[in-house]
Amino acid sequence: MATSQMPKSILKKTSYPATTTSKEDRDRELALYHAELIQQRKDIELEILLSTETLIDYPLATAPYDASNPSPADAKTFKNLLRPFQPGDYDALIVERNINERCGYTLCANSPRKESGGGRWRMVGKHGKGKDFRVVDKKELEKWCSEACAIRALYVRVQLSETAAWERGERGENTVKIELRDEPKSDSDTVVEGLEKLQLAGDDSTKKQDTAHLALERGERGPAARIGSVDVKILEKEIQRAPEAPSLEDQDLTERLDTMHLALEGHTTSFGSNRHRRHEEEEEDTDWKL
Amino acid sequence: MSNEEDREVKQREAGNRETARLWRAWRTVHELVQDRGYILSEAEVKISLEDFIHKFNSGDGNIEKTRMNFTAHPSDEMVARYSNPVTDRDPKPAAPDVGPIKVKFEEGDSIGIKNMRKFAQELTAESFHTGIMITSVNITPAALKIIPAVASETRIETFLEADLLVNITHHELVPKHVLLSKEEKAALLQRYRLKETQLPRIQVGDPVARYLGLRRGQVVKIIRKSETAGRYASYRYTV
């Protein structure tokens, strides 16, 4: 295993410690590692299934709440449960809700619209502009109670992550933050939301993001840069005494007189000493060379 | 013929067709249950169309699906076939993994999570070991995921009515499949000095495997007709 002193490997992480000796042990560890991955995936799939089952019966709150003004509790659970969903799972939820005679939008208590008459296709947008005109499958229209609910539901759908939940990793960067088109309108909730949005100084995630950006700017590619593990700390210089402007007075007059004729707008260029110093540095610091 | 009469005739014909479909599905599923080794009377299995209509019509010419549900118990022979052999290492083996079966004809033009969950609860409450759900439409993918989720409590299988219109095992190109008991399987592996994974395989989703309700790890003997040898037996391991 790499210690903190060693440079970080860009190769794929091995699942077992390199120090393990016997082949059986290694095989066992490898098998366990993959078994755990599969188990994790199964757990998440079951969680999605149970969430779907719960959300079929939503919303729990009745009047005065409706789809345009959902109850804060329902909206909160909805957003939480939806986190591991992929768009496909969300579509399955819509289908299940329709089977149970509910509008496809989870926070809407109405039953979906029933198109009268036979035929498979319907014409939409007959009275508007030509570009609004579409021919739509009847089934698509029967998913929702109204146009507004369709928009609300699809507004949520596009925010879901295409990546499967078990591939997203544990880091917060991929956590889906879902926003409703019509957020609940209650005072306490608005305040809470405002507080959440408030950027507090020294926010951990933004700091990490900044270091990641910095690493990228410096041309550091590789896993260390991506997750921002190049931890740059910027510290204020401690001040011991009151600052004072530099003055010519405190330098020795004779010293200044020696180099006075070389001064160019107050700056004295130096040759020999500098070259000497550079030479010394090269000898000292060679680990960046190949 | 007037328009009115025409429509009436069409409706009656559609009803008759639907009745005939249900009757055929009913016969096939009874044969399936019998072939697996559950006890059913011949009269139940070989019901004629007239008797079927007489028994299950709802009065307006349609068939009441809810009344078509039935249950069956495994025969002694079936229990013996599923039993675990007594060995030195395992002197008191676990009870055979079989039990009463319930067959349900599910109504509705879409089957979702709710229907499946309800069926699973019914089976658990009435302590049925296996349940077969027969639907006229496809079950939603989400609902199918319920099956593995409740697998520890009860075993659910699903069939489409359309798949049961004919009994596939009666087709002349489908050879006879016989499930081997655990003892027979052990004897077979001993005889040919094989590991079970060295046998040819058959998938759990294979139509005949679904018909017989095969489980992972079981072995079936397939008896084919052969021009040269008369009968030819091969064995397949269910994966």
Residues B11 and B5: their CA atoms lie apart, in Å, by: 10
Check if A101 contacts B (Cβ < 8 Å): no
SS3 A170: coil
Residue B28 confidence class, pLDDT cut points 50, 70, 90: very high
Domain that includes residue B29, residue range: 3-166
Q: Which residues of B touch A98 (CB under 8 A)?
A: 110
Within 10 angstroms of residue B24's Cβ, the number of other Cβ atoms is 17
Give yes or no for a contact between B210 and B224, defined as CB atoms under 8 angstroms apart: no
Name, in order, each residue with C-beta under 8 angstroms of A240's C-beta and a sequence gap of 6 or more.
Answer: none
Distance from CA of A136 to the nearest CA of B (A): 21
Tell me: do A214 and A124 sit in the same domain.
Answer: no
Q: Provide the residue-wise pLDDT of chain A in tens; the chain has 290 residues.
A: 445 577 777 776 666 555 556 888 889 999 999 999 999 899 999 999 999 999 988 888 777 777 778 888 888 888 888 888 899 999 999 999 998 888 888 888 888 888 887 788 888 877 877 787 888 888 888 888 888 888 889 988 998 888 888 887 665 545 677 788 877 666 565 666 666 666 555 556 677 777 777 777 776 655 544 454 556 678 888 888 887 777 666 566 666 677 777 777 877 777 665 555 555 555 555 555 55
Could you tell me the CATH number of the domain that includes residue A70?
1.25.40.820
Preceding peptide of A64 cis, ω within 30°: yes
Helix or strand (DSSP H, E) at A135: strand A134-137
pLDDT at position A252:
64
Cα angle B5-B6-B8, degrees, rounded to a multiple of 5 = 65
Is A247 strand, coil or helix?
coil
Find the radius of gyration of the CA atoms of chain B: 21
Q: Specify the number of domains making up chain B.
A: 2
Asked whether residue B151 falls in the same domain as residue B55, the answer is: yes
Residue-level pLDDT at B238? 95
- Strand B38-39 and strand B70-74: pairing? antiparallel
Measured between CA atoms, how close is B113 to chain A, in angstroms?
Answer: 7
Strands (E), chain B: 38-39, 70-74, 101-105, 130-135, 155-160, 176-179, 201-202, 219-226, 230-238
What pTM was computed for the model?
A: 0.69
| A160 and A130 in a common domain | yes
- Shared domain for A177 and A222, answered yes or no, is no
Predicted pLDDT at A180: 81
Q: Is A124 helix (H, G, I), strand (E, B) or coil?
A: strand
Per the model's pLDDT, the better-predicted residue between B92 and B183 turns out to be B183
Best A58, A99, A101 residue to mutate vs chain B (most B CBs within 10 Å): A99
Instruction: Judge whether A29 is closer than 8 Å to chain B, CB to CB.
Output: no
**A99 part of contact set with chain B, CB < 8 Å:** yes
Kindly state the percentage of chain B with pLDDT values over 70: 99
Phi-psi sector, B224: left (phi>0), alpha (psi -120 to 50), beta: beta
Of B110, B117, B149, the CB nearest to A99: B110
Report the sign of the C-alpha dihedral through residues A191, A178, B144, A120, in that order: positive
The chain-wide mean pLDDT, for chain A, equals 76
Q: Using the beta-carbon criterion (under 8 Å), do A56 and B149 form an inter-chain contact?
A: no
Which residues neighbour B118 within 8 Å (Cβ) at sequence distance 6 or greater? none
Are residues A214 and A178 both part of a single domain? no
- Whether B53 and B126 map to the same domain: the answer is yes
Kindly list the residues from chain A whose CB atom is less than 8 angstroms away from the CB atom of residue B145: 45, 49
| The pairing of beta strand B130-135 with beta strand B38-39 | unpaired
Lowest mean pLDDT among A57-71, A108-122, B137-151, B169-183: A57-71
- pLDDT at position B56 over 70: yes
**Nearest beta carbon to residue A92 from set B114, B141, B146:** B141
Average pLDDT, integer, range B186-215: 94
- In a shared domain, residues A61 and A39: yes
pLDDT(B224) > 70: yes
pLDDT on residue B192: 94
Q: Which of A192-206, B74-88, B119-133 has the lowest mean pLDDT?
A: A192-206
Query: Are B47 and B74 members of one domain?
Result: yes
CATH of the domain at B211: 3.90.940.20
- Two tokens, residue B61: 């010419």
Same domain, B142 and B188: no
With an 8 Å Cβ cutoff, are B112 and A99 in contact? Answer: yes
The 10 Å Cβ neighbour count of residue B153 is 13
Is the domain of A72 the same as that of A120?
A: yes
Q: Say whether A100 and B110 touch across the interface (CB within 8 A).
A: no
Residues A112 and A161 in one domain: yes
Given an 8 Å threshold on Cβ–Cβ distance, is A95 in contact with B112? yes
Q: Is the ipTM above a cut-off of 0.95?
A: no
Q: Do B112 and A49 touch (CB under 8 A)?
A: no
pLDDT at residue number B50: 87
Q: Which of B107, B111, B113 to mutate to test the interface with A (most CBs of A within 10 A)?
A: B113
Are B144 and B191 within one domain? no
Angle at which helices A147-157 and A87-99 cross, to 10°? 150
**Whether B114 and B193 share a structural domain:** no
Same domain, A191 and A223: no
Helices H / strands E in chain A, number of each: 10, 4
Q: Which of B166, B196, B212 is the last residue of a domain?
A: B166
Quick check: B115 and B108 in contact, CB under 8 A?
Answer: yes
Question: What length is written for chain A?
Answer: 290
Q: Is there a single domain that holds both residue A81 and residue A126?
A: yes
Of A49, A95, A96, the CB nearest to B149: A49
Range of the structural domain that residue A212 is part of: 203-232
pLDDT on residue A186? 60
Please state the domain count of chain A: 2
Domain-embedded: residue A208: yes
Contact B142 A46 (CB under 8 A): no
Contacts of residue B117 in chain A, CB cutoff 8 Å? 53
- Whether residues B152 and B211 share a domain: the answer is no
Q: Which residue has the tokens 């599910």?
A: B106
Q: Is residue A274 part of a domain?
A: no
Does B91 share its domain with B184?
Answer: no
Asked if the structure places residue A164 within a domain, the reply is: yes
Whether residue B104 is predicted with pLDDT greater than 90 in this model: the reply is yes
Pairing state of beta strands B130-135 and B155-160?
A: parallel
Q: Are B65 and B105 in contact (CB under 8 A)?
A: yes
Q: Is the domain of A40 the same as that of A69?
A: yes
Task: Classify residue A69 by its DSSP letter.
Answer: B
From chain A residues 37-96, the ones with a CB under 8 A of any chain B CB are 45-46, 49, 52-53, 56, 92-93, 95-96
